[in-house]
Structure 1
Amino acid sequence: MKNTRLSNQHQPPKADKLLLVAVLILAGLGLIMVLSSSGIMAERYFGDKYLFFKKQAAFFCIGAALMYACWRLPRVFFYELTYFWLVVAVILLALCSFTPLGVDANGAKRWISFGLFNFQPLEFSKIALVFYLAYYFSRKQELVRTLSVGMLPPFLVTGLLCILLLTQPDFGGAAFLAGILFFMCLVGGTRLTYLFGAFTFLAWGGWLLILQEPYRYKRWTAFLDPFKEPFGTGYQLVQSFYAFGSGKLTGVGLGAGKQKLFFLPEAHNDFILAVVGEEMGFLGMSLFFLLIGFIIFRCLRIALLQEDLQDRFTAFGMTLILTVGFLLNPAVVLGTVPPKGVPLPFVSYGGSNLIVSFICVGILLNLSQRRHA
């Protein structure tokens, strides 16, 4: 009995299966909501009401396979190729902005066409940036509080990615990466005076960029009073409010929502949560939020349990990618922050975000084992 107990103590911890189960449940509910929210539009414009559902199901399978691969691969595969992932991210963003491979949609080039599907380089850039920042801060702890080491290299690397995003243009994507940089610097040990001074300057620059483009300024002010222009800049948010208001406690019933009948734009994408609120009501929304809260809790727990500094920073960064999407998407849909196209991880339609979200979870499952590579 004593030998058995000792052998069990030397066994490496198992992966966080509760996180895995919660993610699969949320992604499964997301598939159901994509089917419900996209069927009418897909049938009218493409003659196949299951088109978006079938595509999302394929992305689900690809993402799940990559999640499993990231879970089982030795972590040196990620760490020793840190700069390689960063270079790939820069190349993909450059290809998207400056070559015919970039897909032009509504005046922006944010996707690269690979024939059967389009890929958004921004999503891959999030993971590449986290790997770089985790690698950098874990190895520069003794100098991280100096200006030349603790700030300049991370800011220059992130700045390059943000500049490439602004050429697309994707102001929101650049802000997302800047947010990752801020929180990684915060936990990495950068001096608060340097950090807040730099981000005050960047916020001022961002505000100038908003004022420079009328559409950005209208987006910024639309959420303050969307009913002032209910058929203009406030239209999408107003329709979202109508959806939530119709749902009440239990919802109108799965598939019975009306706002997806060409009233609510992007019903299966960024505003899919409004369809959830209409069809599943307050109780259904609560289920989604409980799952999201549980996933965030398990991810943060994995980060806190890491003994190696690079593992801890990496886990925190992957958690950050998911958490920002989990928090920002509902905030936009509920009208508490300016509108920005941020998908809800595992729920919104879109292959790039779904696959990258699965990859983040795969890396977290890998780290949850806390075994040596």
Structure 2
Amino acid sequence: MMQAMTQLSLLKFNKWLEQTPRANATFDRSYILLAAAMYAIGLIMVMSSSMPVAERLFDNPFHFFIRHSIYIVLSIIIGIAVMQIPMSKWHQYSGPLLLSAIFLLLLVLVVGRTVNGSTRWIVIGPITVQAAEPAKLYFFSYLAAYMVRRRDEVMENFKGFIKPLVVFGVLALLLLLQPDLGTVVVMFVTTFGLLFLAGAKLWQFIGIALTGLSAIAALAYFSPYRWARVTSFLDPWADPFGSGYQLTQSLMAYGRGEVFGQGLGNSIQKLEYLPEAHTDFVMAILAEEMGFVGIAVVLLLSITLVMKALLLGRKALLKEKYFEGFFAYAIGIWFSFQTAVNVGASAGIVPTKGLTMPLISSGGSSMIIMTIAVVVLMRIDHEIRLQSLQATSKGGRKNDK
């Protein structure tokens, strides 16, 4: 009698669980919460860090705040539209997307705007597009599709391993002509991380990785301005008013922040002592105003998003959705490395690379592309859940019969 009542209770509980919205949810809402939290922190810090420079340049202290707000709204609208695109379309059009990335990188060299010696931006009326940002996403889509087509070849022989590196080499060359070594490094690390996860042989991985690292080191050594960045990173205090100026100011911001920070709006370094305070070095201002606690919160949000992307990739591969799995892996590696480089550069751990903090820094192209990447993760999760729900409903109908 007791056993029958227990079984009946379990059946009622399972039936109730199946009827709850959470059990039947067709996408993971935590992605929205993570993105919203990072949007909010970024918006507050962009406003705080940019007010002095915005007042001087545009006679409006809220100029960059308004601009950043518009890009967030635009990112959300584009994200909603991208959410409607099935992953099969991403897979099908991965080749044309790659060609469009190459076209943009060629176009920026011809008609691009040059700022601080770098030609990276295409100006379309009031909108400025940084060609390297969509190039990253489109290349990773192509790379995921290649892994599906040639996974056995990648695992078994050197030819399959080297083919995607040739494509990467073409993109890297176009990026170095801008020049943009930071994006090249991010794409390099993501490519090799994905090849490694796809099952490439360790000796191939180590050999090409050492070759690539040697090439990057040579590019830095034989370029005076890049080498100045490396040497100033190693000892910024040797020339605190020259090549080491930006990093020393950033380190002072970190030092003033201590554990709990000086309070929102109380940064001194943002008073135009620290260049690019609202873009590449927004984390330094966050550290000064919010301290170690503020940095820890942002890193926790970023790590959570990265871990969810990697776990989603693993889940997709187990469901035999290989393109989706490799794409999610690529996005996770991309987010993690770009976050590490941005925070590391502002903290003096790595040389400055001019990379934005995902979903935090000011920068329209970066904000839109990073939002699309999060939406792609949501779409992958949605399709996996939908597949599971359909399988469950089919199984239930069979059992009813």
Assess same fold via TM > 0.5.
yes
Matched, 1:350 2:363: yes
Counterpart CA distance in 2 for 1:165 and 1:281 is 35
The equivalent of 1:317 in structure 2 is 330
From 199, 202, 209, the counterpart of 1:192: 202
Structure 1 residue 285: deviation in Å? 2.0
- 2:230 matched residue in structure 1: 220
**Separation of aligned partners in 2, 1:142 and 1:272:** 43
For 1:72-119, what per-residue CA distance to the aligned partner results, in whole angstroms no more than 9, with x for missing partners? 32222211111010010000000011x1x2111122211111121211
Q: In 2, distance between residues paired with 1:195 and 1:85?
A: 26
Shift of 1:364: 0.2
Higher share of residues assigned helix: 2
Which residue is equivalent to 1:16? 28
Per-residue CA deviations over 1:42-93 (Å, capped at 9, x if unaligned) read: 1111111111111111110111122222333222221111101001000000
Match for residue 137 of structure 1 among 135, 140, 147: 147
Query: CA-to-partner distance for each residue in 1:144-203, whole Å, 9 max, x for gaps?
Result: 224454222201111111111111111222222111211111111222211221121222
Residue 302 of structure 2 is aligned to residue 292 of structure 1: yes
Post-superposition CA distance 1:270-309 (Å, at most 9, x none): 1001101111122222222222222222222222221211
Q: 2:44 aligns with which of 19, 23, 32?
A: 32
Q: Give the aligned residue type for 1:104.
A: T
Contact kept, 8 Å, 2:309 with 2:332, in 1: the verdict is: yes
2-structure distance, mates of 1:164, 1:340:
17
Query: Which amino acid counterpart does residue 362 of structure 1 have in structure 2?
Result: V
- Tell me the amino acid that sits aligned with residue 131 of structure 1: S
- Taking the aligned partners of 1:184 and 1:249, their CA distance within structure 2 comes to 37
1:314-338 Cα distance to aligned partner (Å, 9 max, x none): 1111122221222111111111111
Equivalent residue letter for 1:235: Y
What are the equivalent positions in structure 2 for 1:109-258 lying under 5 Å apart? 109-258=119-268
* Unaligned 5+ runs, structure 2: 1-10, 391-401
Query: Separation in 1 of the partners of 2:300 and 2:158?
Result: 43
Larger Rg, first or second structure (1 or 2): 2
* Paired residue type of 1:280: M
Give distance in 2, aligned partners of 1:79 and 1:102: 30
2:4 aligns to what? none
Secondary structure (helix, strand or coil) at the match of 1:143 reads helix
Aligned length: 370
Question: What is the match of residue 57 of structure 1?
Answer: 69
Structure-2 separation of matches of 1:74 and 1:181: 24
- Aligned match of 2:97: 85
Shift of residue 141, structure 1, vs aligned partner? 2.2
- Of 108, 123, 142, which residue of structure 2 is paired with 1:96? 108
How much does 1:4 deviate? Answer: 5.2
Looking at structure 1, the residues matched to 271 and 179 of structure 2 have their Cα atoms a distance apart, in angstroms, of 30
2:85 corresponds to 1:73: yes
Shift of 1:216: 0.8
Distance (Å, rounded) in 1 between the aligned partners of 2:299 and 2:215 = 34
Q: Secondary structure at the match of 2:155?
A: coil
Alignment of 1:330-341 (within 5 A): 330-341=343-354
Asked if 1:45 is matched to 2:57, the reply is yes
Contact 2:279 2:356 in 1 (8 A): yes
What secondary structure, in the 3-state scheme, does the structure 1 residue paired with 2:120 have? strand
> Which fold has the larger relative contact order, with Cα–Cα distance below 8 Å and residues 6 or more apart in sequence?
1
Specify the SS of the correspondent of 2:234.
coil
Q: TM-score, normalised by structure 1?
A: 0.94
| Secondary structure of residue in 2 paired with 1:296 | helix
Q: 1:276 aligns with which of 286, 290, 303?
A: 286
Aligned residue for 1:142, secondary structure, equals: helix
> 1:356 is paired with a residue of what secondary structure?
helix
CA deviations on 1:240-288 (whole Å, 9 max, x unpaired) are 1111111122221111111000100110011001101111122222222
Structure 1 stretches (4+) deviating beyond 3 angstroms? 1-9, 146-149
Percent same amino acid at aligned positions?
32
1:264 correspondence with 2:277: no
1:63 alignment partner AA: S
Contact 1:71 1:364 in 2 (8 A): no
Among 327, 332, 339, the residue aligned to 2:340? 327
- In structure 1, distance between residues paired with 2:292 and 2:217: 36
The CA deviation at 1:224 is: 1.2
Distance 1:145 1:239 in 2: 47
- Secondary structure, aligned partner of 2:121: strand
Match of 1:368 among 359, 381, 391: 381
* C-alpha deviation, 1:7, in angstroms: 7.2
Hey, what's the Cα distance between the residues in 2 that align with 1:163 and 1:111?
A: 17
